[in-house]
Amino acid sequence: MKRLHIHIGVQELDESIRFYNTLFGIEPTKTKPGYAKWMLDDPSVNFTISTRASQQGVDHLGIQVDEDHELSEVRDRLSKADMATFHEGETVCCYARSDKTWVQDPSGLPWEAYRTMEDAEAFSEGLGNPDSACCTSETKGEPDCCEPSQETVGCCGS
């Protein structure tokens, strides 16, 4: 078995452990001073790269699910933990039509929980240019991207 390793630097370990316990639905398999590790079999990893990200390095992370009920489970965990989320709903992003919800971890790292319904020909939709990234620093707050009055994370909020 092969497993992708993702290491994220955090500021507050206890606060971050609570966040990731909620996001993943399980406790860490190992905790040490300044360190926690979750060995996850579910979800497996979908790793992508893009020149259209808002920054180089880790842009965001996500949990992709296959079924609506799985997306509902993740959303319910975040809601019960009283975490601020942005429900983007159905959107085209990264050449796929998906249903997405965004949340930020305590360090401000954007996470998306999403289900992909089908492939799309365009990288994204919105702002009249289907091949541009919707949520760049130039387009945050644009009406076709995200409502400027919303508290958003991830797309349009990072």
Tell me the two tokens of residue 33.
């001073």
Tell me the two tokens of residue 151.
């508290």
Counted domains in the chain? 1
Q: How far is CA 73 from CA 96, 114, 115, 118, 140, in A?
A: 22, 11, 12, 21, 29
Domain boundaries, position 120: 1-158
Run of H or E residues at 16: helix 13-24
Q: How far is Cα 102 from Cα 61, in angstroms, rounded to an integer?
A: 10
In 3D, which of 122, 124, 5 has the Cα closest to residue 61?
5
Question: Residue by residue, what is the 3-state secondary structure of 29-72?
Answer: CEEECCEEECCCCCCCCCCCCCCCCCCCCCCCEEEEECCHHHHH
In 3D, which of 111, 53, 103, 58 has the Cα closest to residue 83?
103
CATH code, domain with 4: 3.10.180.10
Query: Across-strand partners of 66?
Result: none
Q: Show pLDDT as tens, one digit a residue, over the chain (158 residues).
A: 667 789 989 989 999 999 999 999 999 999 998 999 998 988 787 887 777 777 778 888 988 999 999 999 999 988 888 888 888 989 898 888 999 999 999 999 999 989 999 988 887 875 444 443 444 333 333 333 333 333 333 343 33
Q: Indicate the burial class of 145 (C-beta count within 10 angstroms; 0-12, 13-18, 19 or more).
A: buried
